[in-house]
Structure 1
Amino acid sequence: MPYFSTPVPELALQQSGSFTKFETVVHKNYKICRVAAEQIQAEFNKAMNTDIITNTVATVPGLGLVHFLAFTIPNCLPERLVALVRFAEFTLLNDDFYDIAKNEEINKINADIQSVLATETESRTAESLSNMTKSKQLQASLILDMINIDSELAMDIMTTYSKGLELATFPPDTLKTLEDYLPVRMVNSGLDVFQTMSCFGMGITLTPSEKARLADLVDTAMFSTTMINDIHSWPKEVKHHIEHPGSEYPFNAVAVLMRHQGCSEAQAVRLLREKQASLQEQHLELLRRLGPLPEHQMLYVLAAQYAASGSEFWSIHVPRYPSKEDLNQPEVEFVDGVFRYKHNSGPATTTLFQIGRETTKSTKVGVVEINVLPCPAPTTSSSASSPRIAILESEPEIAIQDVSNMANGDDDILVEAVAHVNANGDGKSSLNGETFGLAFNQPAASRSYSSGSCTSLDTDVACTDEIIMAPYRYLTSMPSKGIRDLFITALNWWLQVPEAELLAIKDVISYLHQSSLMLDDIEDNSQLRRGQPATHIVYGLGQTINSANYIFVQAFSRMQALCAANSSTLGMFIEEVENLHKGQSYDLFWKDHVECPSVDEYLMMIDQKTGGLFRLCVRLMEALATREIPEASSKDFVRQLSRYFQIRDDYQNLMSDQYAKEKGFAEDLDEGKISLPLIYTLQSSPNRDAIARVFKRRDAGQMMGIEMKKFIIGEMRKAGALDRTYRLLRSMQDDMMDELRRLERVFGAPNASLELVLRKMWID
């Protein structure tokens, strides 16, 4: 494989003062990167009506203007360079855009108040939503450019990117050492995404086992990149923090060492330099021990090295990260939980602020809220203490080791806390008719389990929804692709439904979907949902059914907002909910009677059951759209999408390892579900009677044996049912793309977000 990098001139490297132990190189076609970055910056600013300059191009002696990607992914294939630069530059533009938005939050609140007083009707939130939609459209178009080059590696970028977004973006206070901090920061800063971007750029694919073998080696290099990024971004980050009282502590290793290790600013930077050198030496030693590597693995390792050396060389020259000298910044110190400029250490104005820890924080625990008293921020690791929960009437405090778990709804911790109080005789338990001794934020009348305080039969005690909502909240806490929500957002690029109505539509669809999932799992005797125990397995049949019915009522309640805007929406809701239940009746009937429908009958069922929610989305949005809707119907597109969605699920349930992990191997067979591959098999297999007998003798609620599942899937293969289903899905993908292009012509605008939603579902 050809290499496209060339060493940075030695003189430029020496003059830079770079500390790296890795070779520093630059892409031979680095000028292309700068042009591509300038183009996407202009497109973004035009679309978002902004004037953001990312400052990602550095002036390098002997080279001129160079974009950071030319240093950090210097072996990118030339034909992939533009697409990769555009995507990387967009992520920085988007970050800068939302950083600006955060800075303007106070001004926005004031402006909103003024607009209300002046009876202005313009909605700034709607404007923000519009900007978000524009941003997503632009991002989707950039991702599609990469998918068209290499769909597999582009999807790897998307998957890694999505996983990174699921992690908390704020620095947890539990990260008190570099060993704890580095793995979290590597993901938070997007370096894991950057490694997948490098693979895309170079066109190399590693198996999971290959990546696992090289993980320690690559991580040491990437950790050193984290050190480099934190050192160079620190002056800018701490400046912003000091100038914005109440902002979060910088998510930076310098801050970690100053806060938890008692280091001065200079000591922290020196320790990070030493850590950088140590990590890079460790990396090189691990590489020597591994011995010769295949070329694609060596390129993968070099990519991690170049991310470090390139980041350092670029950071030294780029205006995006000004040094303390550039900012004329005094020394920073950390005193009494406060980052501030040190007195008499320089010409800059000293700015002091308190983080806002004087006020009591409210932490939710299960169904109640507990007041967490503020603790002084420690200046050294030895003085760190756990948050504590206050007891009423000067009762002793209960040390809780992990309040973050309580915030996530860990009921076990709450039980332990109450047990601790009772064991010491210091607290009261609502379980014996008394109220808790904890400082609840909720008024006594609204506490979920408080009954002892009721002294009169005439007293009204408020009934909360905590119990009835628990199964629903359990279900929605599970990981989900959120296809329907993405579909609504993408479709709104064309239809432009007002924000309030759009949110109501999303709620209606979500409530109906979650309600149907709870009931479907009961009706299908499903044990798993998205890799976790199904809701009724955890909460029982009665509680789950009651919750599902309550959630359905919530969907109907949200329809009030839509009916106020357009009264015809209620009829649409009723009609499609009826269709959904009619479709489900056929599905259940065929399963219970082991009756094989025709393909046309099966498609009819899909159109009603699966198509109902998709159709309701579109009908509600079209009824509430603020732009004129073309006469050309979207009915065909919705029908194709619904059928593809269900048939793909049928196929993946039998063939996908990921589905097996989340739902169990061939779970549809456990449920006795009649799927399209099974219909094809029963229509043509010489052993169809034996297959039918297996389903008829199946015990409801019992899992089918592995050997029996293998027998049925084997018969599907012999009958050509799986291949036939696969070919149908591929054909449907082409048909949907044709229909999407037709709609784009009708609406007069491409819809990259909608295309990306579709491509996320594609089977290869």
Structure 2
Amino acid sequence: MPYFSTPLPEALVRQSRSQTKFTTVMHSNHEICTESAERVQAEFNQAMETNIITRTVAPVPGIGRLHAVALTIPNCLPERLAALTRFAEFTILNDDFYDIAKNEEINKINDDIQSVLNGAIELSNSTESNMTKSKQFQASLILDIVNIDADLAMEILSTYSKGLELATFAPDTLKTLDDYLPIRMINSGLDVFQTMSCFGMGIKLSAEEKEQLSDFVNTAMYSTTLINDLHSWPKEVAHHIEHPGSEYPFNAVAILMRHGGLSEAEAFVRLRERQAQLQERHLTLLRALEAAGPVPESHMLYILAAQYAASGSEFWSELVPRYPSKQDVDQPEVEFVGGAFRYRTGTITPDIHCAVKAAAAVKTVTEENDTVTKSHTNGFVNGHTNGVANGHANGHKNGLTNDHTAHCSNSDTNGLTNGHTNGDHKNEETFFLKSLETVECKSDLVLAPYNYLTSMPSKGIRELFITALNWWLEVADDQLVCIKDVVSFLHQSSLMLDDIEDGSKLRRGQPSTHTIYGLGQTINSANYIFLQAFARVRSLGHGRPEILDMFIDELENLHRGQSYDLYWKDHVHCPSVDEYLMMIDNKTGGLFRLCVRLMECLAKRSTRGISSENFVKQLSQYFQIRDDYQNLVSDQYAKEKGFAEDLDEGKISLPLIYTLQSSPYRDAIMRVFKHRDLCGGNTGEMGMEMKTFIIREMRKTGALEKTYQLLRAMQLELMDELRRLEEAFGTPNASLELVLRMLWIE
């Protein structure tokens, strides 16, 4: 692979006050980055009716104007450079847009700053509309990179998803740099940035290869984390000081000042020293690797990408006008006194700059805000993925917890004891009755299985589907949340019951709910959550009979479809393909149809003459058949649910139907299914030898390949249906297309 990076003159790097030990380079086609960033900024402002200027282009003496991507991903393939830059620049625009939206709300309610900080403000309809536009705009840019390289683009999205739990790790539990750096690296999105670099360069490494190179990447990326924190500190601490009650800055400077007892100037020196140590450690590892023998080019490019993220971020941060330094804004020295950060009284002191100069033998250190590495990754996570996850979870799970109360108290025991000591039977009876009247039956116990299930990681495809569909239908926000609640409650309730009916031991890689809470408690919880769905539908319809009719219709369809699935499994009956698709249309299609019918009924926009029935039918069939296929061939499914778990359950899937239609061992396979418990040694699972035998027959008969080809054809049909709907509604729906592509089998 050709290299597209060009080293910057050493004198220029020194002049910038960068202290990196890595080579600082730029992309030889850096003009593409600048032009792409400015173009997407103009498109965004036109679409959003804003006037945001990101100031992400740094004026570099003797070279011209450089965008961050040109410095941090300098070996990006030229044909991918524009799309990657547009994506990175958009996420910075999105950050700025959300900041502006928040500021507008703050200006409206200056008398309630604490509510603002706690996110207790509801955005205006116009702001919500703009945020929907923003998500559509973002989805279209993601589709650009998906269309270039679907595998690597989806790897970017997957890395976002996997990092979300760590990204919200409570900073107060981190008291040393060793504890802080691994969490902060993910929180600032640098793991995703490395994946973006792979996309840019077209490098596909296995998980094993990445693990092998993790020490090289981590040492470099930890140094980038410190660089980001040093430059973002002035803005972060200013925001904290100016907003009393806000959380401490999640920043290495704050860690050292709070838990290490260092002054601001001492913390800067310590972090610069740690940055140098990390980068020297990285270079030592690299020299040892090169001395051991030839290094594969893909591995070297992967390592260099981590270096360039550090050197490029620092050079860019020193020069870019986006982030003013402490001196630029005349920010006084910060001190940590009595558990609070505050400005030291008096004018700005030169202590920090002098201390850093003495430690690093440079003129000054410019303390600026976060680099594009942080801005573009956090922009996506907070603006898109978290927006969906948090909006939905808070919409229903917390609502249940707040609306209902916890398990019964033991005050009745005390009442009985006190009653007996009285000695008066009538008084004792009266006291007993009064005691019962004060007992409160709470809902902790009935919600426990449900809360356990919802705590498991989930892609939330149905919720994403509803959000994307609303780009066309324009259902009111409160009604949309209600529809999401209904669908989620029904889905979670059915999962608990399905796992019992199927005998599943794993759900999303964790023990199934009934294996933890028992059959009775899980069934009771599932029924309770079902009732919550009914209650939400009733509130949604405000007594409108057609709303309840839709709810009842689709639940009847769902249960009828499930009855076929269970009957075929229990009787080891092989249905025809048409019968199987009928089952999917009812069982899997029920929830999809319900959400679409509810949304169309409540839509502000007319859907007259527009039918989504065929799209929903195709999506439901694809969704289920894809699950059948992945259960048998996907390593990820094997980790989360167990190897070929559908065979353990005796599930009749489409690949199995194809196999039974043509395999000479049809009778043998049927016998294995009838006696699968015995084949597994009474473990409740089919033996590994039998699973291997059946999957081998699926391959020999071409059943797996036939299923794969069907899925590929269905993908094309779904895209055709999407284009038809886009034409009917008169506008593209990039968010919905992205949801579909997240499901694609490549």
What TM-score do the two structures reach when normalised by structure 2? 0.86
| Secondary structure, aligned partner of 1:65 | strand
> Does structure 1 conserve the Cα–Cα contact (< 8 Å) formed by 2:406 and 2:444?
no
Aligned partner of 1:613: which letter? L
- Of 339, 342, 367, the match for 1:340: 342
CA distance in 2, matches of 1:148, 1:606: 30
Offset of residue 134 of structure 1: 1.7
C-alpha distance in 1, partners of 2:730/2:112?
34
Alignment correspondent of 2:203: 204
Contact 2:463/2:484 (8 A) holds in 1: yes
The aligned residue for residue 247 of structure 2 is 248
Is the Cα contact below 8 Å between 2:409 and 2:440 reproduced in 1? Answer: no
Q: Are residues 1:519 and 2:497 paired? A: yes
Q: Deviations over 1:22-78 (max 9, x none)?
A: 111111111221111112222223333333222211111111211111111111111
Structure 1 pair 111/632, CA: closer, same or farther in 2 (3 Å)? farther
Tell me the SS of whatever aligns to 1:23: coil
Partner of 1:318: 320
2:660 is the alignment partner of 1:660? no
Aligned letter for 1:57? V
Q: 2:737 aligns with which of 732, 744, 755?
A: 755
Q: Retained in 2: the 8 A contact 1:497–1:625?
A: yes
Residues in 2 aligned to 1:550 and 1:61: alpha-carbon distance in whole angstroms: 67
Q: Deviations over 1:475-528 (max 9, x none)?
A: 111111111101000000000000111111111111111111111111111111
> Matched residues in 2 for 1:562 and 1:532: separation?
34
Distance 1:541 1:733 in 2: 38
The CA distance in 2 between the partners of 1:447 and 1:589, in whole Å, is 38
Whichever residue aligns with residue 520 of structure 1, its letter is D
> Number of matched residues?
662
Alignment of 1:76-155 (within 5 A): 76-109=76-109, 124-155=123-154
- 1:697 corresponds, among 657, 675, 692, to 675
CA distance in 2, matches of 1:26, 1:714: 51
Cα deviation, 1:307-356, whole Å, max 9, x if unaligned, reads 111111111111222111111111111111111111224399xxxxxxxx
Opposite residue 476 of structure 1, the aligned amino acid is T
Letter of the 1:718 partner, please give it.
K
Equivalent of 2:472, from 479, 482, 494?
494
Structure 2 contact 449–517 (Cα < 8 Å) conserved: yes
Give 1:727's match in structure 2, choosing from 705, 709, 720: 709
Kept in 2, the 8 Å contact 1:20–1:309? The answer is yes
CA separation of 1:538 and 1:750: change in aligned 2, threshold 3 A = same
Q: Where do 1:540-559 residues align within 5 Å?
A: 540-559=518-537
Equivalent pair of 2:474/2:604 in contact (CA under 8 Å): yes
Assess, with a 3 A threshold, how the Cα gap between structure 1 residues 642 and 198 changes in structure 2: closer, same or farther. same
Out of 433, 437, 448, the position equivalent to 2:408 is 448
Give yes or no for contact 1:31–1:66 (8 Å, CA) kept in 2.
Answer: yes
SS at match of 2:545: coil
* Displacement over 6 Å in runs of 4+: 110-113
Point out which structure has higher relative CO (alpha carbons under 8 A, 6+ apart).
2
SS of alignment partner, residue 340 of structure 1: strand
Q: % of aligned pairs identical?
A: 71
The structure whose residues are more often helix, as a share, is 2
How many angstroms apart in 1 are the aligned matches of 2:706 and 2:108? 56
CA RMSD of superposed structures (Å) = 2.1
Q: Is the 8 A contact 1:580 1:612 kept in 2?
A: yes
Stretch deviating more after TM superposition (233-242 or 744-753): 233-242
Whole-Å separation in 1 of the counterparts to 2:575 and 2:162: 40
- The answer to whether the 8 A contact 2:406-2:443 is kept is no
Query: Which residue in the other structure is 1:175 paired with?
Result: 174
Counterpart of 1:285 in structure 2 is: 284
Shift of 1:140: 1.1
Quick one: structure 1 residues 677 and 447, their matched pair in 2 at CA, closer, same or farther if it must change by over 3 Å? closer
1:283/1:565 Cα in 2 relative to 1: closer, same or farther (>3 Å)?
Answer: farther
Counterparts of 1:379-390 in structure 2, within 5 Å, are none
Shift of 1:127: 3.7
Over 3 Å counting, the alpha-carbon distance change for 1:48 and 1:171 in structure 2 is: farther
Mark the runs of 5 or more structure 1 residues left unpaired by the alignment.
Answer: 114-121, 349-440
- The letter of the residue matching 1:34 is T
- In 1, the alpha carbon distance for the partners of 2:288 and 2:683 equals 54
Helix, strand or coil at the partner of 2:172: coil
The offset of 1:106, in angstroms, is 4.0
Any idea what SS the aligned residue of 2:704 has?
A: helix
Instruction: Work out whether residues 497 and 624 of structure 1, in 8 Å CA contact, stay in contact via their aligned partners in 2.
Output: yes
Quote the offset at 1:108 in angstroms: 4.9
Per-residue CA deviations over 1:204-237 (Å, capped at 9, x if unaligned) read: 1112221111110111111111111111111122
2:566 to 582, 588, 592: 588
What residue identity is the alignment partner of 2:433?
A: L
For 1:622-641, what aligned pairs fall within 5 Å after superposition?
Answer: 622-641=600-619
Cα distance in 1, alignment partners of residues 30 and 130 from structure 2? 31
What TM-score comes out, normalization by structure 1 length? 0.84
Residues 672-729 of structure 1: CA distance to partner in whole angstroms, max 9, x if unpaired? 1111111111111111011111112233981010001111111111211111111111
Distance in 1 between residues matched to 2:21 and 2:231, nearest whole Å: 17
Match among 700, 703, 707 for residue 718 of structure 1: 700
Q: 1:565 to 1:186 in 2, by over 3 A?
A: farther
Query: SS of the residue aligned with 1:480?
Result: coil
**Residues 321-720 of structure 1: pairs in structure 2 closer than 5 A:** 321-346=323-348, 448-451=408-411, 452-454=413-415, 456-458=432-434, 459-564=437-542, 566-699=544-677, 702-720=684-702
Report the Cα distance in structure 2 between the residues aligned to 1:685 and 1:615, rounded to whole angstroms.
Answer: 36
